[in-house]
Amino acid sequence: MKTGNTGIKRILKAFVYSAEGFLESVKTEAAFKQELALCSVLLIIALLLPVTIIEKLFLISTLFLVLLMELVNTAIEAVVDRISDEIHPLSKKAKDVGSLLVLLSFIYLGIVWITVICGIF
């Protein structure tokens, strides 16, 4: 889908497409909405914790990772569903791996947050 846009126009269009993707995800994806709410609360907590700036960056990066992996999972599911409604082992594999991405990002979030918080006490 080449549009022929270049320079600033291409950058602005990419920003609009990104905003549309965000709004569509918030509107239609329950998991993304829930994770966005959780990450919003954790972001506030991370900013208020009495830790170094580097530790804050680690905490906040885990929040972005969870949201990124959920979006990747959503994209995988959309492509698989677009291709066919048919139940197929490869479709299941793609969706399961997408789900695993989200799970691993949550595990990483837990490890980092526990490590930083335990360092406070």
Q: Identify which of 105, 98, 102, 60 has the alpha carbon closest to the alpha carbon of residue 77.
A: 98
pLDDT digits over 38-63, tens only? 999 999 999 999 999 999 999 999 99
Whether the pTM exceeds 0.85: the reply is yes
- How many structural domains does the chain have? 1
* Spans of the chain below 50 pLDDT: none
Q: Identify which of 73, 31, 12, 75 has the alpha carbon closest to the alpha carbon of residue 3.
A: 12
- Is 74 domain-assigned? yes
Predicted confidence at residue 1, as pLDDT, reads 58
Catalytic positions are 70
Query: 84: which residues sit within 8 A by CB, 6+ positions away?
Result: 91
- Is 95 domain-assigned? yes
Give the separation between CA 12 and CA 5, rounded to whole angstroms. Answer: 10
How far CA 2 is from CA of 11, 15, 64, 66, in Å, comes to 14, 16, 29, 30
Predicted confidence at residue 108, as pLDDT, reads 98
Q: Where are the beta strands (DSSP E) in the chain?
A: none
- Is 16 domain-assigned? no
Give the CATH number, domain containing residue 75: 1.10.287.3610
Q: Computed over its alpha carbons, how large is the radius of gyration of the chain?
A: 18
Predicted confidence at residue 6, as pLDDT, reads 87
